[in-house]
Amino acid sequence: MPVEIKRVDLDLLAEYAAIPISFKVESILRVDAMDGGLGGLALVEEKADPPYVKYYGQDSGDESDSPIAWPKQFDVSRWGIFLAYDGRRPVGGAAIAVDTPGLNMLEDRNDLAVLWDIRVCTDVRCRGIGTALLRHSANWARQQGCTQLKIETQNVNVPACHFYAGQGCKLGAIHRYGYAACPAVANEAMLLWYLDL
């Protein structure tokens, strides 16, 4: 599906936020510690029993996860916020964070960008829109002087993990207790992917 990707201003964040970010969890990547962790961590895919739908940003009930709240939390003036259009309809979006004081995900690095958010409408998934958004975002980050793109996902988002691996991203960290402070998702593991630009 040919789409046009445009960088948008903050006045379109409500339109961006209207794009669904939910997905069906049919399997998870269980984190197994070998030899108490001294032998490394292994990800073992297993069926979710029962399957369920995950709504990013809605699990906590905290509206601060909404794209509309980003400018209240961070200086997003240097971020790249993109919408993918199929004609006049927005069908996907991506947000790239760069040079943002106080954003821990950037690891105090000037050469690192973070794929803060990526989403595609459910009725057009698996048609190349996510790939186009990721490539566009990576190119934009490279133009900003970044050498790596960092992406966070969870062990319950197996399709995203396969997607990022298929796009050349490398799993850089598994944080088994990365969400321990969030009771609604405390059982999930944080997975951090890196893409060299």
31 to 71, 108, 164, 177: CA distances (angstroms): 34, 28, 18, 11
pLDDT in tens, 109-130: 999 999 999 999 999 999 999 9
- Structural contact between residues 91 and 129, judged by C-beta atoms closer than 8 angstroms: yes
pLDDT at 59: 45
Predicted confidence at residue 65, as pLDDT, reads: 77
One-letter amino acid identity for 130?
Answer: G
CATH number at residue 148: 3.40.630.30
**Which amino acid is present at 125?**
R
Q: What is the reported pLDDT for 62?
A: 55
DSSP codes, 52-81: EEEETTTSS--GGGSGGGHHHHS--TT-EE
Question: Are 103 and 97 spatial neighbours (Cβ–Cβ below 8 Å)?
Answer: yes
User: Which residues of the chain fall below pLDDT 70?
Assistant: 1, 57-64
pLDDT at site 60:
46
Overall domain count for the chain: 1
Contact between 92 and 84 (Cβ < 8 Å): yes
pLDDT at 1: 61
Instruction: Provide the CB-side half-sphere exposure for 166 (13 A, CA).
Output: 10
Task: Show Cβ contacts of residue 110 under 8 Å, excluding neighbours closer than 6 positions.
Answer: 99, 145
For residue 96, the cross-strand partners are 80, 115
Q: Which domain covers residue 116, as residue numbers? A: 4-196
